[in-house]
Chains A and B, each alone.
Chain A
């Protein structure tokens, strides 16, 4: 299955600042997916990122808050903007392969 390198693995950030999370895949993929997992909850899809086009956001998520870049077929970034304590979550990227979906190791974000 695909290997995804996600960083940072964790961060503690001040409210009002922004954090950019990076995911690097070991092979080319058409779509990359970004998820949020709030404390004690399951995963919720934030957006789908296609190379060369604007990301598609799910209901409740907007580009101004979660801008996404997809400059090529192996890389994507998710920025959490103007953070508040409610943004404290684990953020994960994912790709789909023949063997199913593979996830990055996650970014554990704490906003203080």
Chain B
């Protein structure tokens, strides 16, 4: 059974810092990995999708990498802003189109 772990569970940084969020998964037989953002009490906003054949994806200040063989992904956020404060969720897609989520990283960027 696929298990997804995110470290750290919570992170507080001053504005302007570059930061890295980590995601690991136990079964490397994935179709893709997706990073989401969730604001309190809200739905999920997709940030980046990495297909299993890709190594990384970039969107603006966000860069996500994937090392499928070692079961790891990182989300890099450059020059963090208070508006980046949210919970970031990593999810992997495998057999049966099933998404398995990590526990999330709660990010607080202080002005």
Residue of A nearest to B33 (CB): A100
Q: Is the CB of B49 within 8 A of A100?
A: yes
In contact, B99 and A94 (Cβ under 8 angstroms) = yes
Size of the chain B interface, CB-CB below 8 angstroms:
21
Q: Which of B53-111 contact A (CB under 8 A)?
A: 89, 91, 93, 96-99, 101-104
Q: How far is the CA of A106 from the CA of B87 in the complex (A)?
A: 15
Do B93 and A106 have beta carbons less than 8 Å apart?
no
Instruction: Report how far A43 CA is from B102 CA in the complex, Å.
Output: 8
B44 touches A92 (CB 8 A): yes
Shortest beta-carbon distance from A109 to chain B in Å: 11
Known A42-B103, A42-B104, A43-B89; contact A103-B43, beta-carbon cutoff 8 A: yes
User: What's the A-B contact tally at a CB cutoff of 8 Å?
Assistant: 53
Considering only residues 39-54 of chain B, those with a C-beta below 8 Å from chain A are: 41-46, 49
Chain B neighbourhood of A105, CB < 8 A: 42-43
Chain A: number of interface residues, binned into ranges:
20 to 34
Contact between B41 and A90 (Cβ–Cβ < 8 Å)? yes
A75-94 contact mask (Cβ, 8 Å, vs B): 1 or 0: 00000000000000010101
Residue of A1, A42, A43, A45 near B46 (CB, 8 A) is A1
Query: Min CB distance, B35 to chain A, in Å?
Result: 10
A101 close to chain B: CB less than 8 A: yes
A100 surroundings in chain B (CB, below 8 A): 32, 34, 46, 49
**Min distance, Cβ A21 to any Cβ of chain B, angstroms:** 12
Q: Which residues of B contact A66 (CB under 8 A)?
A: none
Which one of B36, B44, B93 has the highest number of Cβ atoms from chain A below 10 Å of its Cβ? B44
Residues of B within 8 A of A (CB): 32, 34, 36, 41-46, 49, 89, 91, 93, 96-99, 101-104
Q: Which residues of A contact B (CB under 8 A)?
A: 1, 6, 31, 33, 41-45, 48, 90, 92, 94, 96, 99-106, 108
